[in-house]
Chain A
Amino acid sequence: MHPILGDQLRLRLHLTAWGLAGAIVALLIRVLVGVPWTDAFVFGIPMGLVAAPISLSAWYLCKAMPLARTSAWRIGATASGAAVVTASLWAGIGRLWWQLLGQSGFDLPAQTAAEPFALLIGLGALGYLLAITVHYVMQASQESAAAERRALESQVAQREAELRALRAQIDPHFLFNSLNSIIGLMSADADRARTMCHRLAEFLRDSLTLGGEVRIPLSREAALVEQYLGVERVRFGARLTAVINVAGDAAGIGVPPLILQPLVENAVRHGVATLIEGGEIRVEATITGPRLFVVVSNPYDPDSRRRGTGLGLENVRRRLAATFGERAAIAAEAAEGRYRVSLTIPVETEITS
């Protein structure tokens, strides 16, 4: 759609501008040829208005030669050519209009020197070049609006992805298995069933509450991991042991909520659960200079067919990148029967709670 025809306000501005241009023509005719004011305006204003639709053609010229992808000299040459041709056409119309008015009894001398019409061509060309400039400005603003919309859309998409990721961070199978454990314990060991229900409820409530925060202290995240492991320990019994070590100066450092939870979930599912004897999950957090280092490690069976999809790790990587950009890092390695995920997080905020 044409940016002027498609917009009421712009259309009105456009017509007003060309009406004013008509008034200028009238003024010049009055001064140069010496015709009475009324007659000058009867000639000039329609001349301006007839230029209004003609000048709209500048849009197609701008569209054919986008500013960013066309050389300056080509734009200059084409624009000047188009301006001269269009202005000549317009001046021709002017001449006919002049004669028509002269014959209809207006005080316009039939034999007038060619200069006023040469002036019309010049004015018209100038006006057309101005129209091209205005159209280029509109084109640029349209493009920047589109770019802004794209940026906004991608921001919204990222936000949605983050929310989806957050929801995916608690594996529904964890819930099914937990419920199954509770059912199993119910008749034989009601106390353990009750304990499990409480742990599960606490973990779910806290992960939902904390999930809405922007940053939580690392000690809070570690406590959530502890709660999670408490639930899983009911399932796996003595096979699952865990050591969580958060250095004193690291406890208050702000981290995105649920950033360790998916890593510990992986450590259970793809690590300890693949071993008949089970093993120990370790979470260690230390501070060196301006950085917080967190390492989650677990033993695993290198022959296990139960490989992770890398989705949990990828989620954590994306969230770290979205929050800290280049300043955060995540690395995973397997060595000596242990799988190790290391996070590097910039120390930004200290949260006391």
Chain B
Amino acid sequence: MSAPDTPLRIMIVDDEEPARMALRALLVEMPDVTLVSECQNGFDAVKALADARPDVVLLDVQMPKLDGFEVLELMGPDIRVIFVTAYDEFALRAFEVHAVDYLLKPVAPERLTLALSRVPERTPPQPTGAMLRASARKPGDFLERVVIRDGVHVHVVAVDKIDYVEAQDDYVGFRTAGKILLKEQTLAEVEGSLDPRRFVRIHRSYILNVERLSRVELYAKDSRIAILGDGSKLPVSRSGYQRLQQLL
């Protein structure tokens, strides 16, 4: 628990007003905590994070548009999460993304106190949300959409709308609808989270949505380029070509 002079900054994210009221009523009774923000949905939460600077987010799982796990993915690594939900079915996943705790509604005061006491005073370095999210996926269970934060905006992109993914230094760029959206992640993480029957690593720096592929042309000896339906050209490495052939 934080020292008395620096109360724990808490944010509540839940789309149901009475549920927010229930948590608020509990927090009011507790010492050394301060409620810095209340949000009705994931979009608002992601927007409010910068100003509110919470230490801990009490996060509902089932919310419209962005669910709790997606909000967690878009948060910085220094914010801890306690999931609060009526459903016990997400507990394992919450544990895998290193949530501090997983509380079932209705939440008993002692249970919330215990959860908050588990928030370490100083946050240890921890993997980014995206990495955690990738590790939380079951084998054979692939991403259906990608959430990307762009300033205060959040893009939710269905994977079939992605043309290709390219590596750009510390970022990956998702090319969709003529734009490139950048996200702090590695290409290997993205590759691991996408369905290998639909996405192929054709090059060290590129993952291609095979539905976008128009043809592959020989460019030089052992060097090929993939030509997409819209005319874009991407390099194809020798091993990338083998992977592509295996799939097709």
Contact = CB atoms under 8 A, between A and B. Distances in A.
Interface of A: 173, 176-177, 179-189, 234-237, 273-276, 301, 303-306
Given A180-B19, A180-B106, A303-B156, A188 B64 contact: no
30 contacts: A173-B86, A176-B104, A176-B106, A177-B86, A177-B105, A180-B18, A180-B105, A180-B106, A180-B107, A181-B19, A181-B22, A182-B18, A184-B23, A184-B24, A185-B18, A187-B25, A188-B21, A234-B18, A235-B17, A235-B18, A235-B19, A237-B16, A273-B62, A273-B64, A276-B40, A276-B41, A303-B65, A303-B158, A305-B144, A305-B145
Residue among B64, B87, B144, B156 facing the most chain A CB atoms (10 A cut-off): B64
Categorize the interface residue count of chain B. 20 to 34
B22 A183 contact: yes
Contact of B25 (A173, A177, A184): A184
A235 B16 contact: yes
Contact of A185 (B15, B21, B67, B86): B21
A184 B86 contact: no
B61 to A, nearest CB: 10
A306 B62 CA distance: 8
Contacts of A187: 21, 25
A150 B101 CA distance: 50
A184 B43 contact: no
Contacts of B19: 177, 180-181, 184, 235
B106 A183 contact: yes
A218 to B, nearest CB: 31
A311 to B, nearest CB: 13
B93 interface: no
B64 A301 contact: yes
B155 to A, nearest CB: 12
A306 B144 CA distance: 12
Given A184-B19, A273-B15, 18 more contacts: A179-B105, A179-B106, A180-B18, A180-B22, A180-B106, A183-B25, A184-B17, A184-B21, A184-B22, A184-B23, A184-B25, A235-B16, A235-B17, A274-B64, A276-B40, A276-B65, A303-B145, A306-B67
Judged by DSSP, the binding face of A is: helix
Given A187-B25, A275-B64, A303-B156, A176 B86 contact: yes
A186 B19 CA distance: 11
Interface of B: 15-25, 40-41, 43, 62, 64-65, 67, 86-87, 104-107, 144-145, 156, 158
Nearest to A275: B64
Contacts of A234: 18
B215 to A, nearest CB: 31
Nearest to B26: A183
A181 B106 CA distance: 8
The 10 A-B residue pairs with the shortest CB-CB distance, nearest first, are A184-B22, A184-B18, A181-B18, A184-B21, A180-B105, A176-B86, A180-B106, A276-B64, A173-B86, A183-B22
Nearest to B89: A173
Contacts of A189: 21
A269 B15 CA distance: 13
A108 B22 CA distance: 108
Nearest to B107: A180
Nearest to B42: A276
B86 A180 contact: yes
B35 to A, nearest CB: 14
Contacts of A184: 17-25
Contacts of A185: 18, 21
Contacts of B86: 173, 176-177, 180
A304 B62 CA distance: 10
Contacts of A181: 16, 18-19, 22
Contact of A176 (B21, B23, B64, B105): B105
A168 to B, nearest CB: 15
A237 B67 CA distance: 20
A202 B173 CA distance: 55
Contacts of A306: 62, 67
Nearest to A277: B64
A176 B84 CA distance: 12
Nearest to B25: A187
B183 to A, nearest CB: 18
B64 A304 contact: yes
A275 B65 CA distance: 7
Nearest to B67: A305
A187 B104 CA distance: 20
Contacts of A179: 105-106
B240 to A, nearest CB: 31
Contacts of B107: 180
A141 B183 CA distance: 75
A304 B43 CA distance: 14
Contacts of A301: 64-65
B203 to A, nearest CB: 30
A305 B133 CA distance: 15
A301 B63 CA distance: 12
Contacts of B18: 180-185, 234-235
